[in-house]
């Protein structure tokens, strides 16, 4: 880990990453003016093809997924150590190694990481809407060791392929990573105790926290404001298959949107990690 | 015996077979560019004159070195030679992808061209450029123009000379399987650009167009969330930024200390062309509709 370098905002999709970035963007901007969803200034996404193409000097569009994964740690290291790049970059890849045995998220390039975590019972319906698939399909993807984002062998996706694995293995890959220090932030805590939760995460990212400014930033990033802004001006990060990026943002919505069978399956797939992070009680029941 | 070829207005003598390029039968003078194999290139260059630009690229005032891991080393010197060292048992199609891409791009910078990321389509007495990031749909658009009978002068790497003319580049389009399917092109008889990829070389007629074509129109292709195409003309200084942003391998150009020349080139070129930003729907766009839109726009600004 390096003092100056890249900070990662890591999460499984639909776990509060964008909300976190909006608050961070508003905070870095002084917490004074309305947030422009389509001009978040926090950083890039780790899977950006432009980023790797620019630094490598040749096109990832002409490389296989395994070849691209071999470049990525070196590109991040170059950006951090030689291009003086800092910033807070979203990433949906699990914390994994390439076939040369190197962590794709290069620890030398990394100055900090926050892992955003959300109850998988709430992730499933949101992820389904995000992908434009039914909830059963989303549950299956969340339990698939080979799940990935932006995989397209027949064409070009603006983003490079991101290996995610299962929801559980995604969580554990980051929070148990030995090469980097990762601050874990639960979506539910961002809701319940926003000031305290964001402050702790910002501090973990090396920011000096000004509580008044943070309070203003949190207020500017209220969910209904973001949802309203998306409805009026669109959101460039909305996947084409999703009707709306900012759907409900609620906690516990699963009680209405999931069937009993779906709840049972998610708990069977992810019980151990759910318990570890307080999403199941001592009896294994969802809280 | 090296084989003789032609691309970007240069005569080329190459020890590496380049089936993508039109061949020449003989030359009265030494070739402008010599491509040779050099197995001694096996590591990063050393010496104070070398500046490292990235994990994989190094430059001096007159030389440029590129390393594509597991594929090849390339040493490009003086705008006249490219030495290539394929790595291990790599297939030559893979080597050619980067030789005819980044390596030739570096050579074109060394020769003083304005090098842009996009393609050039001949419209008769003048040509249009389509610029944009990877994934914007440039190659699909070029293939659609080609299917309508237009001559595609260059795909991916466009070299523009001091008079604002685009040079005929490599007569092929690199096209993904899904784009080919959208255009109802059969990939059955096409060669893959690399054996393990679903991306193909779509050959274009090797008509030996050696004359540069004045660039009259530049379209900046992008995407948006809306369901329709949107075309916005750019005037004056607004044309400058997109040329900088769509410079091919800007990192190379800046590292080669060509910034001042490049700024001047972009400024001059911006004054010579009509430019429009074209946004297409993020998914499922009508490629024929886009060709029609650009043709209609160009017809409003006829060649003088």
CATH of the domain at B225: 3.40.50
H helices present in A119-259, as ranges:
120-131, 135-142, 167-175, 187-192, 194-204, 211-220, 223-233, 254-257
Residues B98 and B145 in one domain: no
Last residue of a domain, one of B47, B80, B111: B111
Query: E strand or H helix at A127, and its extent?
Result: helix A120-131
Is residue B152 domain-shared with residue B279, that is, in the same domain? Answer: yes
Task: Please tell me whether residues B80 and B127 are part of one structural domain.
Answer: no
With the CA atoms of B180, B185, B189 and B195 taken in that order, what torsion angle do they form, in degrees rounded to the nearest 10? Answer: 0
Nearest C-alpha neighbor of B174 from the set B122, B97, B226? B97
Are A226 and A23 contacting, i.e. CB atoms less than 8 angstroms apart? no
What CA–CA distance (Å, rounded) separates A76 from A69? 11
Closest CA in chain A for residue B52: A82
Counting residues of chain B whose pLDDT is more than 90, the rounded percentage is 85
CB contact under 8 A, A57 and B133: no
Query: Quick one: closest CA in A to B199, which residue?
Result: A154
Q: Give residue A62's pLDDT.
A: 95
d(CA A31, CA A17): 19
Closest residue in A to B58 (Cα–Cα): A57
Same domain, B193 and B235: yes
Res B49: pLDDT: 95
Residue A273 in this model has a pLDDT that exceeds 60: yes
Q: Which residue blocks in B42-192 are alpha helix, DSSP H?
A: 92-98, 104-110, 138-147, 177-182
Question: Given B111, B126, B142, which residue is the final one in a domain?
Answer: B111
- Domain span holding position B44: 3-111
User: Which of A62, A158, A234 has the CB atom closest to B101's CB atom?
Assistant: A62
Q: Say whether pLDDT at A6 is over 80.
A: yes
In this complex, the residue of A64, A74, A77 whose CB is nearest that of residue B197 is: A64
| DSSP state string for B181-204 | HHTT---TTSEESSTTSSEEEEE-
pLDDT at B98 over 70: yes
B136 and B107, same domain (yes or no): no
Number of H helices, E strands in chain A: 12, 6
Domain count, chain B: 2
Instruction: Indicate which of B20, B44, B55, B139 best probes the interface with A, i.e. most A CBs within 10 Å of its own CB.
Output: B55
| Contact criterion met (CB < 8 Å) for B199 and A57 | no
Say what the alpha-carbon torsion angle A201, A207, A212, A213 is, to the nearest 10 degrees. -100
Which residue of chain A has the CA closest to B104? Answer: A58
pLDDT at residue B285, rounded to an integer: 76
Residues B152, B295: one domain? yes
Residue A250 has pLDDT above 80, yes or no: no
Same domain, residue pair B167 and B107: no
Q: Which residues of A touch B102 (CB under 8 A)?
A: 57-59
Q: Where are the domains of chain A?
A: 6-119+149-244
Mean local confidence (pLDDT), B100-124: 96
Between residues B213 and A231, the one the model is more confident about: B213
pLDDT band with cut points at 50, 70 and 90 for residue B9? very high
Q: How confident is the model at residue A40 (pLDDT cuts 50, 70, 90)?
A: confident
- Token reading at B50: 């070398």
Interchain CB distance below 8 Å, A54 and B250: yes
Same domain, B105 and B131: no
User: Does pLDDT of B304 surpass 70?
Assistant: no
Question: B101 and A67 in contact by Cβ < 8 A?
Answer: no
pLDDT tens digits for B150-201? Answer: 999 999 999 999 999 999 999 999 999 999 998 899 999 999 999 999 999 9
pLDDT at A226: 78
CA distance A16 to A123: 10
Report residue B207's pLDDT band, with 50, 70 and 90 as the boundaries. Answer: low
Question: Is A67 close to B225, i.e. CB distance below 8 A?
Answer: no
Q: Is-contact A253 A122, C-beta < 8 A?
A: yes
Can you tell me whether residue A181 is helix, strand or coil? coil
Number of neighbours of residue A278 by Cβ within 10 angstroms: 13
Mean pLDDT of B272-300: 92
ipTM of model: 0.93
**pLDDT tens track for B31-62:** 999 999 999 999 999 999 999 999 999 999 99
Of all residues in chain B, the percent with pLDDT exceeding 70 is 97
pLDDT digits (tens, 9 = 90+) for A163-210: 999 999 999 999 999 999 999 999 999 999 999 999 999 999 999 999
Residue among B54, B57, B176 minimizing CB distance to A155: B176
Confidence at B303, pLDDT banded by 50, 70, 90: low
Token digits for B293? 């839109």
Q: Are residues B68 and B96 in the same domain?
A: yes
* Weakest mean pLDDT among A240-249, B101-110, B210-219: A240-249
Q: Does B223 lie in the same domain as B155?
A: yes
Q: Choose among A27, A2, A25, A12: nearest CA to A214.
A: A27
**pLDDT of residue A2 exceeding 60:** no
Question: How far B295 CA sits from the closest chain A CA (Å)?
Answer: 26
Query: CA B40: distance to chain centroid?
Result: 28
Q: Which residues on chain B place their C-beta less than 8 Å from a C-beta of chain A? A: 52-57, 66, 68-70, 97-98, 101-102, 133-135, 174, 176-179, 181, 193-194, 196-199, 225, 249-252, 282-283
B226 and B105 in one domain?
Answer: no
Alpha-carbon distances, residue A158 vs A60, B143, B222, B223, B253 (angstroms) = 10, 20, 12, 11, 24
Mean pLDDT on A61-67? 95
pLDDT for B1 equals: 84
Separation CA A145–CA B216 (nearest Å): 52
By a Cβ cutoff of 8 Å, what residues of chain A touch chain B? 49-50, 53-62, 64, 67, 70-71, 74-75, 77-78, 82, 152-158, 234, 236, 238, 240
Could you tell me which residues come within 8 angstroms of residue A276 by beta carbon, excluding any fewer than 6 positions away? Answer: none
Compute φ and ψ for B250, nearest 5 degrees: -55, -35
The token duo for A232 is 């009026």
| CA–CA dist A24, B13 (Å, integer) | 56
pLDDT attached to residue A247: 74
pLDDT on residue B130 = 97
Tell me if B130 sits within 8 A of B138, measured CB to CB: yes
Output helix, strand, coil percentages for chain B, rounded to the nearest 5. Answer: 25, 35, 40
pLDDT classification of A82: cutoffs 50, 70, 90 = very high
Distance from CA of A137 to the nearest CA of B (A): 22
Of B78, B111, B144, the domain-final residue: B111
Mean pLDDT across chain B, nearest whole number? 93
The chain A residue lying nearest B249, using CA atoms, is A57
Q: Which class does domain A6-119+149-244 fall in? A: alpha beta
> Does residue A272 register a pLDDT over 80?
yes
- For residues B128 and B276, membership in a common domain is answered with yes
CB contact under 8 A, A71 and B69: yes
Angle formed at CA B299 by CA B297 and CA B304, multiple of 5 degrees: 120
Identify the band that residue B133 occupies on the pLDDT scale cut at 50, 70 and 90: confident
Over the stretch A212-229, which tens digit does the pLDDT of each residue have?
999 999 998 887 787 788
CA–CA min distance A253, chain B (Å): 28
Are the Cβ atoms of A67 and B282 closer than 8 angstroms? no
SS3 B224: strand
pLDDT given for residue A237 in this prediction = 76
């Amino acid at each position: 880990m390096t003092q100056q370098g890249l900070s990662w905002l890591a999460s499984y999709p639909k776990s509060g990453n964008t909300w976190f970035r909006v608050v961070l963007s508003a905070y870095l901007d002084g917490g004074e003016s309305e947030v422009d969803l389509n001009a978040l200034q926090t950083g890039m996404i780790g899977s950006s093809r432009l980023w790797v193409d620019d630094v490598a000097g040749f096109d990832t569009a002409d490389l296989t997924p395994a070849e691209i994964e071999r470049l990525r740690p070196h590109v991040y290291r170059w950006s951090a150590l030689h291009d003086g790049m800092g910033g807070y970059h979203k990433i949906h890849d699990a914390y994994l190694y390439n076939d040369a045995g190197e962590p794709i998220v290069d620890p030398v390039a990394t100055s900090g990481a926050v892992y955003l975590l959300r109850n998988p019972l709430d992730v499933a319906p949101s992820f389904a809407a995000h992908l434009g698939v039914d909830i059963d399909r989303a549950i299956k993807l969340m339990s698939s060791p080979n799940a990935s984002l932006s995989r397209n062998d027949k064409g070009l996706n603006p983003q490079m392929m991101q290996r995610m694995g299962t929801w559980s293995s995604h969580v554990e890959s980051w929070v148990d990573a030995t090469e980097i220090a990762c601050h874990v932030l639960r979506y539910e805590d961002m809701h319940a105790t926003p000031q305290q939760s964001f402050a702790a995460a910002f501090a973990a990212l090396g920011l000096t926290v000004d509580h008044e400014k943070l309070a203003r930033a949190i207020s500017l990033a209220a969910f209904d404001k973001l949802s309203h802004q998306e409805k009026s001006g669109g959101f460039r990060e909305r996947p084409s298959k999703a009707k709306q990026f900012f759907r409900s943002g609620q906690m516990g919505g699963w009680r209405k949107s999931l069937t009993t069978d779906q709840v049972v399956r998610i708990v069977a797939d992810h019980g151990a990690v759910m318990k570890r992070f307080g999403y199941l009680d001592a009896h294994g029941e969802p809280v | 015996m090296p084989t003789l070829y032609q691309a970007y207005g240069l005569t080329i003598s190459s020890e590496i077979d380049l089936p993508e390029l039109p061949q020449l039968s003989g030359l009265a003078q030494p070739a402008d560019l010599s491509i040779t194999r050099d197995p001694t290139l096996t590591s990063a260059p050393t010496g104070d004159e070398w500046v490292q630009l990235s994990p994989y690229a190094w430059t001096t005032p007159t030389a440029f070195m590129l390393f594509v891991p597991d594929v090849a080393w390339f040493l490009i010197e003086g705008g006249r030679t490219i030495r290539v060292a394929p790595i291990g048992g790599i297939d030559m199609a893979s080597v050619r992808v980067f030789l005819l891409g980044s390596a030739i791009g570096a050579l074109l910078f060394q020769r003083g061209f304005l090098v842009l990321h996009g393609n050039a389509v001949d419209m008769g007495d003048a040509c249009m450029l389509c610029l944009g990031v990877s994934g914007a749909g440039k190659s699909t658009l070029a293939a659609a123009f080609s299917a309508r009978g237009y001559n595609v002068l260059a795909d991916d790497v466009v070299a523009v000379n001091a008079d604002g003319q685009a040079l005929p580049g490599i007569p092929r389009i690199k096209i993904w399987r899904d784009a080919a399917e959208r255009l109802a092109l059969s990939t059955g008889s096409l060669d893959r650009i690399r054996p393990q990829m679903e991306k193909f070389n779509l050959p274009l007629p090797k008509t030996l167009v050696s004359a540069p074509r004045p660039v009259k129109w530049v379209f900046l292709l992008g995407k948006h969330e809306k369901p329709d195409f949107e075309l916005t003309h750019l005037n004056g200084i607004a044309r400058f930024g997109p040329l900088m942003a769509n410079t091919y391998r800007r990192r190379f150009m800046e590292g080669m200390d060509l910034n001042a020349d490049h700024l001047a080139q972009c400024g001059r070129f911006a004054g010579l062309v009509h430019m429009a930003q074209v946004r297409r729907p993020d998914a499922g766009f009508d490629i024929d509709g886009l060709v029609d839109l650009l043709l209609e726009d160009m017809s409003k600004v006829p060649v003088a």
